[in-house]
Amino acid sequence: MMAPFEFSEMAGLGLAVLFGAFFGLSLERAGLGDPHKLTGVFYFQDFTVPKVMFTAIVVAGTGLYLLADLHLLDLSRVYFVPTFFWPQIAGGALFGAGFVVSGYCPGTAVAGLASGKLDALVTMIGVGAGSLLFAVLFSALEGFYVSSDWGTETLQALLGVNHWIVLIVLAALAGGMFKFFSWYEKRVVHP
C-alpha cells in the first residue's frame, strides 16, 4: 500500500490533533507566539519568521519530492494548493498588511493565546469577523475569487525544469538569505 493512507473519521481527527500539536509546539518554541518576534522581520530587527518558514519549506519540499521519486508516496493523491493568481496576490498583500497591524497570523495567534497573550485572542475574534465579512460580500467578490484559475500549477511546470532544479535553487537562496541575516544581526542589530 502506497502513502497517503485512508482513515476512519475518528482516526483522521486524532491525527489532525497530533500533527497540529507538533505544529503548535514548533511555532511556540521558535518564539512565534510573540508578536514582537513575528513582526521583527518587517522592521529588520528579528528574522525568526523567514528563518523558520524557509527552513520548514525546504525540509518539507525536499522530503515530499524525495518520497515521491522513491515511489513511497503517490503525489497524485496529495492535495496540492491550487493557484488563483490575482486573488492570491491581492489576498497575500492584504494578509501581509494585516499581519503587521495585528502582529499575528491565524496559526500564530492560536500559539500566542496558548502562551498567555490576550491580544492574540482579540486577533482570533477579528479573524472570525473577517471571515464573516468575506462571506457577506461573497456574491460581489465571487467573480474575482474564481478568476485567473491556473489549477494546481507548480514552479517546475511553469519553468519547464525538473523539480530538483527548483529545490536546489530555493535551498541555495534560503542559505544565502540565512547567511545575510547572520551577518546583519552581528553588524547592525546587536553590534
Q: Return the residues of window 102-141 that contact another protein according to CB under 8 A.
A: 102-120, 122-136, 138-139, 141
Q: Which of 147, 169, 171 is nearest to 156 (CA)?
A: 169
Task: List binders of another protein among 13-72 (CB under 8 A).
Answer: 13-36, 39-43, 45, 47-48, 51-61, 63-65, 67, 72
Give 17-21's long-range contacts (Cβ < 8 A, gap of 24+): none
Output the smallest distance, CB 188 to another protein, in A: 14
Of residues 134-173, those binding another protein (CB under 8 A): 134-136, 138-139, 141-142, 145, 150, 152-156, 158, 163, 166-167, 170
Among 1, 8, 77, 188, binds another protein (CB under 8 A): 77
3 - beta bridge partners? Answer: 73
**Per-residue cell: 154:** 507548480
**Judged by CB under 8 A, which of 1, 69, 70, 91 binds another protein?**
91
CA distances from residue 45 to 39, 103, 111, 165 in whole angstroms, order as listed = 9, 14, 21, 32
